[in-house]
Structure formats: C-alpha cells, structure tokens
C-alpha cells in the first residue's frame, strides 16, 4: 500500500512522514530531493530538469511524472512508497494514479489537517537549520541544530506574511481539489495536526496501521 501525504505548509507533515516511513518501512519519495538527485545524475532527464530550473521556471507536470516513473522503476513491487510533496495539482494526481494503477500499486491518502490561522502562526514562528534545512518549531529551545550543529535561522519567505498567505492560497487553489478528489473516492484518512506533536504521531500511526494490517 502506497501512501500520499498531504498537509498545509506548517502542518508538520514532513516530520510526521519520516516517522511513518520508519515505523512501516516505507520508501520515501520527496520531490525536492528527487529533482536534486536527477540533476546531479547528469542523465538525459536530469539535464532537462536542470535546464528548466536554471531558466527560473517551475518543473512542469509532465516532467514531474517522468521523475516519478523513473523513481518507481527502481522500487520493488512489494515495497510501499510514501509520496511527500506530490501530487500538488489535479493533473499531477490524475497522472500519478494512472501510473500507479498501471503498476498495480494500491494507494491511499493521509492528510495532516490544520487551519490556515494555525499554519500562519507556525510558519512565522518556526526556524530552519542553515546547513541541513531541518525545521524546528517555535518551542524548540536553542539556536543550534541538534542534527548537524548548524545555526537555526528564520527562512526569508517565513518572515514575509504576504508571501506566506500567497503560499497558502496556492495550496487552497491547487492542492485542496486533489485532497477532495481522494475524499470523494473514499481513499483519504484525516489526522488532527493541531494536537501536541506526540499525539499527532500516535493518531497517524494508529490510523495508518489499518492500511498495513
């Protein structure tokens, strides 16, 4: 069973996704990491992506699906995948589902749900490691990354309220219809992301457990 992980910016889905992947032995597909890996590979697809990125454009949906197909070609049929950061649009969702269906892979979506008000609060207060990019919530005590020792800073786009609101508006306009699509076909699990972090983790693992039992 493959899992598609959804969550508004600031929901903590990245952190929760890592925990879920470790708990159930999932292979993680992270779009940002995959794009960087493809560029570094120097392959034909990597050169194509590098050209798009260096021109200042967003990677188009067709290329995104090429990246996913390349990734899945290396994943054993009996190994479950956690998709983080994809799909973001209905076109990506339709393409991904067709690809997974062709490979006879079952899929379910999991949403870490928070309100826009809570997202704005978290995004304006969180910090990120300047070296490894690990994200830390406002309540973290200290200015040094516990993972690599790098300095914790506020991301430039997290200090700009207008930029945050634009990112959340993009999420509502582009990704919410995808979430509704999974809801309408009864393939969506919701987790309350506004609980204390350990409680979010407990609920997520408990609900996801039904998919792997």
When divided into structural domains, the chain yields a total of 1
In a domain, 122, yes or no: no
In a domain, 130, yes or no: no
In a domain, 152, yes or no: no
In a domain, 104, yes or no: yes
Tens-binned pLDDT, residue by residue, of the chain (213 aa): 999 999 998 999 988 999 999 999 999 998 888 888 889 988 999 999 989 888 877 788 899 899 999 899 999 999 999 999 899 899 999 999 999 999 999 999 999 999 999 999 988 888 899 998 888 887 788 899 999 999 999 887 676 788 888 889 989 999 999 999 999 999 999 999 999 889 999 999 999 988 887
Taking the C-alpha atoms of residue 138 and residue 128, their distance in angstroms, rounded to an integer, is 10
Tell which residue, 173, 209, 213, has the closest CA to residue 89. 173
In a domain, 78, yes or no: yes
In a domain, 150, yes or no: no
| Strands 81-84 and 2-7, bridge-based pairing | parallel
Domain that holds residue 194: 2-114+169-209
Q: What is the CATH number of the domain that holds 36?
A: 3.40.50.300
In a domain, 141, yes or no: no
In a domain, 155, yes or no: no
Do 36 and 71 touch, CB atoms closer than 8 A? no
């Amino acid at each position: 069973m493959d899992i598609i992980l959804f969550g508004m910016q600031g929901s903590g889905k990245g952190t929760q996704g890592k925990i879920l992947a470790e708990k159930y032995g999932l292979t993680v597909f992270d779009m940002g990491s995959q794009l960087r890996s493809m560029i570094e590979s120097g392959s034909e697809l990597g050169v194509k992506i590098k050209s798009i990125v260096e021109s200042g454009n967003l990677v188009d949906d067709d290329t995104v699906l090429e990246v996913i197909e390349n990734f899945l070609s290396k994943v054993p049929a009996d190994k479950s995948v956690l998709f983080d950061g994809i799909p973001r649009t209905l076109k990506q969702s339709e393409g991904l589902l067709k690809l997974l269906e062709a490979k006879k892979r079952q899929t379910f979506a999991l949403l870490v749900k928070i309100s826009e008000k809570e997202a704005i609060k978290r995004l304006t207060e969180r910090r990120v490691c300047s070296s490894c990019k690990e994200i830390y919530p406002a309540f973290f005590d200290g200015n040094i990354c516990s993972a690599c020792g790098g300095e914790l800073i506020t991301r430039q786009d997290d200090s700009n309220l207008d930029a945050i609101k634009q990112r959340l508006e993009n999420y509502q306009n582009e990704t919410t219809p995808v979430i509704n699509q999974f809801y309408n076909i009864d393939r969506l699990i919701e987790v309350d992301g506004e609980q204390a972090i350990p409680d979010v983790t407990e609920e997520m693992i408990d609900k996801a457990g039904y998919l792997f039992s």
